[in-house]
Structure 1
Amino acid sequence: MTTTPYQRHYDLDWLRTLAFGLLILYHIGMYYVADWGWHIKSDVTSEALQNLMILTNQWRMSLLFFISAMALALAQQRSSRLGLFGLRSNRLLIPLLCGMFIVVVPQVYFEALSQQLIEPGYLSFWWQYINPNTELLRDHHSPIGLLTWNHLWFLPYLWCYSALVLLFAGPLNRLAQANWLQALPGRYAFLLIVPSMMVVWLTLRAHFPSTHALLDDWYNHGKYMLAFVGGYLFAQQGNWWQQVIRCRRYFLLAALLCYCLIIADRNGVFGSLPDNEISFVLRLVFSVVLSLNHWCWILALVGYAGRYLNRPTSKLDKDGSLLHYSNNAILPWYMLHQTLIIVFAVWLKPLALPVGIEAIALIVLTCLGCWAGYELIKRFWLSRWLFGLKVKLPASSGRKSTVMQ
């Protein structure tokens, strides 16, 4: 594999599609677990489901930042930095504003309604929601009132990281093309990124709990910015990419081992101590396991995608239509899915269905809702613009890779 300017990386398209698909299932799972806060909750929760979700919650968003940075690094070989900045601004900031004013409003409404903080009446609530001077739910205000981005926090974070990397693209590209880095074996690069994530965990995690509020979210910034810069440099190192593909099985085995250790610790296998009694050595051991878990999953998935998915068609997608569809539909699906999960969960709850049937119904209804929403969005220039699609429909039906979105 090389990184020539016009090479199409179907593996990144597929990996991004699968990662966002996983995100939909993860957010449906959030409805059924008790320990993690979410907008609404089912009356039936599952500890086993929570353990399964831990499999991905350490790295799933980092993976998206990693492959987004890889796509940015590859795209700059055929586009100017200013052009890329404009493209990412248009496809991230406009959908973010659309999401904040329109898409996420039902999430806030049904959450407040479930906690009996407001009276029923969606339109009157929306009017108060968009009013920065509203007195409604004063204890829940941000600096801009009730306006929030909820699950769309990924968009402003991605825009900020992209802007920073494009601003410093000169020195970053010189670093990526330096002879010593080009000649550095992948295993040595791995030995650099694992301690870097350990430092982030040891120094920031306890002091800056996750908020997704951008300005005070320093632990997440440390983790995600490291993944983003790592992906940007990784994409320009053909030898590293090849080594990750060859070593994918070892990364997967290491990732599974780390996951087992995390679950064992969570279930008290190694005993439990109050946080203030955990020694630095023990915290250091935890940081090693968490960092290895984080990077091994990312690199294992990149390796398997590079080995099996770097082609326009597959046994499951013989004519490439599924990949073509997902490349275009993925951002609208991402914007719509959590709102639809909450709306359908509220509708299904009074039916008191068996939890297994309810969960399947929730998955099916969410996917159908995303499909119908995208089919409507793509038909009008204004909705296309608001949801990050190209405003003008393509002149031809040729399928092009859109990993840069």
Structure 2
Amino acid sequence: MKITRRHDIDWLRVITIALLLIYHIAIIFQPWAMFVGFVRSEQPLEGLWTPMSMLNVWRIPILFFVSGMGLFFAMRKRNWKQLIGERARRILLPLLFGIVAIAPLHMFIFQKFYKLPLGYYPHMGHLWFLGNIFVYVLLFLPIFYLLKHREGGRFKQILNKVMSNPVGPLLISLFFMLEAILVKPQIYSLYAETWHGFFLGGLAFFFGYLFVYSGESFWNTVKKWRWGYLTLALGLYALRYIEFALEAPGYLMALESNCWIFGVFGLGYRYLNKPSRLLGYLSQAAYPVYIIHMFVMYLGGLLILPLKIHPSLQFVGIIVFTFAVCYLLYEFLIRRVWFIRPLFGLKGKQKKSIEKALLVSE
């Protein structure tokens, strides 16, 4: 089977991680930031939370979908032993390194910011996502290889037909709605180290693989009906905002989440499926930036929040600081030092040309 690189999926991964950084910075300016382990501004910008709550229901699920899609492409050229070895190097090694050396850094800054006793302990922090992904690879790999060896079979034909209908992707949402009903998360968007986050992520990872496996039918459908999915998502968000103070019943938020995601996939497939040198660079940088962004962001808060300036300027300042320092650390340290590269999910030896690597799961 010929492998066609999907530049739109690469772009969506890069864009979603950038949005994740902005979302995390917005938390700093919420009154409850300290209670979720963030540094907190004494000058809140609570108005930021209205658009952030729109983003919140799909920012993490879409990364799980994209990770499942990435596994599809990785499987094209590898047997199961090679794939597990490659995923261990690209996911498990950075996770273990992050637990002992990266996540504790932002805890140190948190302690210094609040003038708490300094203490060290290994923990996953925001890297819980990597642990989930590695578990999903091990769980679903037998099923995915079975499907790979039966690509001309009945299941794929049925899947292709279902995904050709605009209702088809929405039917997938029934699984996510059922998860919310059974698990009953108190806060739907609380994904980190929760059973809700684990099951939701597993569903997204599994169906992300199936969407690419099904062929062009899913992508043509979401491209054609992208505005319909986004309109439905906006309507569900409006209902959540007006009737439920932003925390609607889980099954409604699950449907809203997937409608946003299908609309975003449609927009990406329509407008972003084209190569560029910038994408080649950003696609490599996204994973290391995700790993380091929390301690860089906390450092930005430590330096900028004490300044006597308007909180809006503080918000912009922390955004600029976070993106700039992450770039500098990636470009002049992580990317260039051969023995550091594998610790951040990169191949040990840097290539001079833009790397034509397959999508890597976060």
Assess, with a 3 A threshold, how the Cα gap between structure 1 residues 349 and 398 changes in structure 2: closer, same or farther. Answer: closer
**Partners in 2 of 1:404 and 1:96 — Cα distance?**
14
**Partners in 2 of 1:290 and 1:116 — Cα distance?**
38
Assess, with a 3 A threshold, how the Cα gap between structure 1 residues 48 and 112 changes in structure 2: closer, same or farther. Answer: same
Assess, with a 3 A threshold, how the Cα gap between structure 1 residues 74 and 50 changes in structure 2: closer, same or farther. Answer: same
| SS of residue matched to 1:186 | coil
Instruction: Quote the residue 2:343 is aligned against.
Output: 386
Instruction: Quote the residue 1:261 is aligned against.
Output: 239
By how many angstroms is 1:234 displaced? Answer: 0.8
Per the normalisation by structure 1, the TM-score is 0.81
2:190 is aligned with 1:193: no
- Root-mean-square deviation over aligned CA pairs: 2.3
Instruction: Quote the residue 1:143 is aligned against.
Output: none
**Partners in 2 of 1:258 and 1:304 — Cα distance?**
19
Q: Flag the structure with higher helix content.
A: 2
The code of the aligned residue for 1:380 comes to: V
Instruction: Quote the residue 2:283 is aligned against.
Output: 327
**Partners in 2 of 1:171 and 1:243 — Cα distance?**
26
By how many angstroms is 1:401 displaced? Answer: 5.0
**Do the aligned partners of 1:85 and 1:166 also contact (CA within 8 Å) in 2?**
no
**Partners in 2 of 1:207 and 1:23 — Cα distance?**
22
**Partners in 2 of 1:55 and 1:175 — Cα distance?**
37
Per the normalisation by structure 2, the TM-score is 0.90
Instruction: Quote the residue 2:267 is aligned against.
Output: 304
Assess, with a 3 A threshold, how the Cα gap between structure 1 residues 345 and 309 changes in structure 2: closer, same or farther. Answer: same
- CA offset digits 1:323-349 (Å, max 9, x no partner): 111121111111111111101111122
2:292 is aligned with 1:336: yes
Q: Give the fraction of aligned pairs with identical amino acids, expressed as a percent.
A: 30
2:224 is aligned with 1:246: yes
By how many angstroms is 1:362 displaced? Answer: 0.8
Assess, with a 3 A threshold, how the Cα gap between structure 1 residues 343 and 99 changes in structure 2: closer, same or farther. Answer: same
By how many angstroms is 1:112 displaced? Answer: 2.9
Instruction: Quote the residue 1:76 is aligned against.
Output: 75
Instruction: Quote the residue 1:228 is aligned against.
Output: 205
By how many angstroms is 1:169 displaced? Answer: 2.0
- CA offset digits 1:172-200 (Å, max 9, x no partner): 44489423323324345334322211111
**Do the aligned partners of 1:72 and 1:232 also contact (CA within 8 Å) in 2?**
yes
Number of positions where the alignment pairs a residue of Structure 1 with one of Structure 2: 352
| SS of residue matched to 2:239 | helix
**Partners in 2 of 1:78 and 1:211 — Cα distance?**
32
Assess, with a 3 A threshold, how the Cα gap between structure 1 residues 302 and 379 changes in structure 2: closer, same or farther. Answer: same
The code of the aligned residue for 2:243 comes to: D
Listed as ranges, the gaps of 5+ residues in structure 1 are 120-124, 130-145, 273-282, 313-319
Instruction: Quote the residue 1:294 is aligned against.
Output: 257
By how many angstroms is 1:106 displaced? Answer: 2.5
The code of the aligned residue for 1:192 comes to: L
**Partners in 2 of 1:57 and 1:73 — Cα distance?**
26
